[in-house]
Chains A and B, each alone.
Chain A
Amino acid sequence: MASVYKSLSKTNGSKDEDSANGLPKKNKQRVLILSSRGITYRHRYLLNDIASLLPHSRKDAKLDTKSKLYQLNELAELYNCNNVFFFEARKGKDLYLWMSKAPNGPTVKMHMQNLHTMEELHFTGNCLKGSRPILSFDSQFDSAPHLRVLKELFLHIFGVPKGARKSKPFIDHVMGFTIADGKIWIRNYQINEVEASKLPEPASTEDESANKKSKKDKSSSKGGRETEVKLVEIGPRFVLTPIVIQEGSFGGPIIYENKEFVSPNQVRSELRVKKAGRYNARAEQGIERTAKRGELGLRTSGGRKMPKDALDGAELFA
């Protein structure tokens, strides 16, 4: 295996240097991955999943503080990282994701929802640990400046740089970043290449693809053989809602704030208020009812008395 890798990296190495000479900047990223205290097991599993997908990451122990996040900058410097990927758990249920370029920003804070770890999603996809993903972005990422910043951060953190220490030379998975409903949806798929000649029959493959609702891709590979690309989901899945972008790294002025974001606390409190409102309405109804009955003289005590009727039994047979 090592020989295969060496030979491949050697052939590419010469090309690499050429391009490196021509270019001023080399893509060099290292990500510090850690979480705050108080994360649940699912958050922890997700963190592990992401760390396993990013060979250029450095996982660290949980951070003790939630208020002094600027300490992360020092930590990142200590570990030689220029990106920080930080899970902040609140109340043991809400998860916020901070992504930052370590020494001097920007920082993005996002709310993470609908997270599913690889473990609980029983997907059949799998990929090499440390293979470099293809990053697929929705073109909506180029439509607004804050989204462009987000895209850049995703590119730095989720894109494994070429020649990263533990990276593998083949490409077998793709990460999709899509914007829908003001949120960023992230998916991870395995690239499954099937040689057309190995397929039993074209009719059956069509059925399969119809089942999966996927289109076939046929293009000539190196050997000139036809191969078909299919995707199989690996996991994890999660949805991010951008909240705030800061100019510095865990500090500095806020340069973007999402007005549409409603904090989960507010959602919960509104639910509670709604519930309380139901009780209040019912109590009020009760009071109104007693008042009405009193007004009609139907109550034994209080309220208006009924006028005595001449035909009343008590009056007639007195």
Chain B
Amino acid sequence: MVTKSKLKMALAADQRLDFKKLNQKKQRKAATRENAKKGEVMSKKVEEEWEDVDEESEDGGDVGVNGAGDESGSEDEAVDSMQIDFAGIDESDSDSSAGENDQEHDDDDDEDDEDIPMSDLEELDEEEKEDMIPHQRLTINNTVALTAALRRIALPISKMTFSEHHVVTTSEPVLIPDVSDDLNRELAFYSQSLSAVREARKLLKAEGVPFTRPTDYFAEMVKADEHMAKIKAKLIDEAASKKASAEARKQRDLKKFGKQVQVAKLQERDKERKQTLDKIKTLKRKRQGGDNETTNEADLFDVALEDETASTKPARKDRTGPNKRAKKDAKFGHGGKKRFAKSGDATSTGDLTGFSSKKMKGHTKQRPGKARRAGGKR
């Protein structure tokens, strides 16, 4: 840890010197100095507190575990010092190199406490801990080293024209309440970029840098023509399929409706037929009752109708139904045996209708002779 901080110090010192050479400006503000001093006082206080922790860390290595008790004790102050340092760093960034000596002090203090990460092991509740596999990672956030690294690589954006860097940062942080809400998330990204474009365009127009591509300027595009053709084909395909599905739905609806229409038509036809039949029936009844009142023409009409109905309906009735059975029975026989039907039985023996005693005595009336018979005729 010590070696690291030393190295960093050397690095930082090197940097500072560079900065000095580059732009030596003597107007160091008293305000920044004061600020730094304030920080120094605070951080010194913190330093005392943290020294024992540091030693422990050097021995044990794992600070998060060893110095847990100390940490919890001095947490508030640590936070305080961090904030102050942060402020100091910010200021140094803004005017590139202000209050060098004081700043260096600050950095040292920072390193001492920054190297000890605050492990928020107690943050989680019991339930979550149960599920968690004991795989804890200590937060490392070495602010000083980060700012040093940043300063080393940072482009002097504030001194460059906009056309050099093209960086637009939003004035307010983009807030996305729910990242899984795709539409609103993408909308937030879109509006961020759109506002950036507006601002950039204004700045570029002010600088007189060409922005819009002229219509006659052709060059290779990121997406090749084949790719764009593919996209176009896909779009067309999508539109076509959408149209086709809409058409199909329409057809389906029509079909459904058409069926209804057809059913209604059939029902109507049925009804009509029934009505005519009813009418015919009533007419028939009327005629049977008494057709005196009906005129000749009506009579004729009735006869014709009656004939028609008579010729059709009863015939059909004859053809079908129990009649057929009777006919068949008559033809092929049914209902008991037909043998001995002509032989004598009790009733026929008892029947004396053909008996006559006169006939039995032989006293029969003589047949008259020829002459009589002939005379009788005359």
Contact = CB atoms under 8 A, between A and B. Distances in A.
Given A180-B185, A255-B149, A168 B219 contact: yes
B176 to A, nearest CB: 4
A191 B200 CA distance: 11
B147 interface: yes
A122 B234 contact: yes
B235 interface: yes
Interface stretch (A35-43, A56-64, A84-92, A129-137): A129-137
Q: Is the interface on chain B under 10, 10 to 19, 20 to 34, or 35 or more residues?
A: 35 or more
A257 B140 contact: yes
B120 to A, nearest CB: 8
B153 A101 contact: yes
B286 interface: no
Given A139-B170, A140-B173, A176-B192, A156 B146 contact: no
Contacts of B159: 23
B289 interface: no
B257 interface: no
Contacts of A132: 166
A279 B197 CA distance: 56
A247 B167 contact: no
Interface string A66-83: 000000000000000000
Interface string B226-253: 0110110011000000000000000000
A124 B194 CA distance: 17
B140 A152 contact: no
A246 B137 CA distance: 16
Given A193-B212, A257-B138, A247 B193 contact: no
Interface stretch (B47-55, B202-210, B313-321, B366-374): B202-210
B360 interface: no
Contacts of A106: 146, 149, 153
A131 B192 CA distance: 20
Contacts of B194: 214-215, 217, 229, 231
A156 B155 contact: yes
Nearest to B233: A122
A192 to B, nearest CB: 10
A234 interface: yes
B193 A27 contact: no
A267 to B, nearest CB: 11
A256 B156 contact: no
Contacts of B188: 178, 180
Contacts of B171: 139
A155 interface: yes
A131 B221 CA distance: 9
Interface in B127-175: 133, 135, 137-143, 145-147, 149-150, 152-157, 159-161, 163-174
A34 interface: no
Interface string A117-150: 0110011101111111111111111110110110
A222 B196 contact: no
A128 B222 contact: yes
A139 B169 contact: yes
Interface string A186-197: 010101010000
B154 A152 contact: yes
A164 B133 CA distance: 50
Contacts of A139: 169-174
B220 interface: yes
B196 A174 contact: yes
B185 A129 contact: no
Nearest to A131: B213
A149 B234 contact: no
Contacts of A254: 140
A229 B219 contact: no
Given A129-B221, A145-B147, 15 more contacts: A23-B159, A53-B222, A105-B149, A122-B230, A127-B222, A128-B220, A134-B196, A136-B170, A149-B153, A152-B153, A155-B155, A170-B211, A213-B187, A214-B191, A215-B194
Please provide the 7 A-B residue pairs with the shortest distance between their CB atoms, ordered closest to farther: A136-B196, A145-B146, A255-B145, A257-B140, A255-B142, A170-B213, A176-B193
Interface of A: 1, 4, 8, 12, 15, 19, 23-25, 27, 49, 52-53, 101, 104-106, 118-119, 122-124, 126-143, 145-146, 148-149, 152-153, 155-156, 159-162, 168-172, 174-176, 178-181, 183, 185, 187, 189, 191, 193, 213-215, 217, 219, 221-222, 227, 229, 231, 234, 245, 247, 253-259, 261, 266, 269-270, 273
